[in-house]
């Protein structure tokens, strides 16, 4: 596996992102085009396109909803544990001051730079992308969904 860094940290699931969803998108367009071409079967083609859209939307929402919700909880728990390991105290006073995006961005850094970037995030309210760009020793997350 390639070493993970800022430029390649996004993850795609090939069957879902590059086969299933494009196929459903094509089916929607095909249904709309045929609804205009075939006046005798317009209702059927409109229903076909509408059903394709509903399946497309449902496929995106269900896949992401559960996985990301669970992943967000785990990321917060990882932050709390890491904060406790590095500072020896609860993160309960720090965590509410950070957005989830900031917490998620901090998990890509090593322990030394974690302290520095956490302080900057709290002081300067750094955006998650700015936190990621400042990381010099990227810690990969290869277990994401």
Token pair recorded at residue 137: 């020793």
Contact between residue 138 and residue 6 where contact means Cβ atoms under 8 Å apart? yes
Residue-level pLDDT at 14: 83
Instruction: Of 54, 36, 56, 55, give the one whose Cα is nearest residue 46.
Output: 36
CA distance 16 to 1: 21
Residue-level pLDDT at 145: 63
**pLDDT confidence of 120, banded at 50, 70, 90?**
very high
Question: pLDDT digits over 30-89, tens only?
Answer: 999 999 999 999 999 999 999 999 999 988 887 777 788 888 999 999 999 999 999 999
Residue 2 has pLDDT above 70, yes or no: yes
pTM, entire model = 0.62
Residue-level pLDDT at 1: 63
CB atoms within 10 A of CB 126: 21
Instruction: Of 99, 115, 107, 114, give the one whose Cα is nearest residue 141.
Output: 107
Contact between residue 142 and residue 4 where contact means Cβ atoms under 8 Å apart? yes
DSSP character at residue 10: -
CA distance 79 to 109: 12
């Amino acid at each position: 596996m390639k070493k993970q860094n800022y430029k390649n940290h996004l993850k795609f699931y090939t069957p879902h992102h590059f086969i299933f969803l494009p196929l459903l998108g094509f089916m929607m367009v095909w249904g709309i085009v045929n609804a205009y071409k075939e006046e005798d079967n317009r209702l059927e083609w409109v229903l076909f396109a509408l059903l394709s859209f509903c399946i497309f939307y449902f496929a995106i929402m269900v896949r992401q909803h559960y996985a990301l919700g669970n992943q967000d909880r785990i990321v917060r728990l990882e932050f709390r544990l890491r904060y406790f390991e590095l500072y020896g105290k609860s993160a309960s006073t720090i965590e509410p001051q950070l957005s989830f995006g900031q917490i998620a961005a901090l998990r890509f850094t090593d322990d030394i730079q974690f302290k520095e970037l956490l302080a900057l995030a709290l002081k300067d309210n750094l955006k998650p992308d700015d936190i990621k760009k400042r990381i010099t020793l990227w810690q990969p997350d290869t277990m994401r969904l």
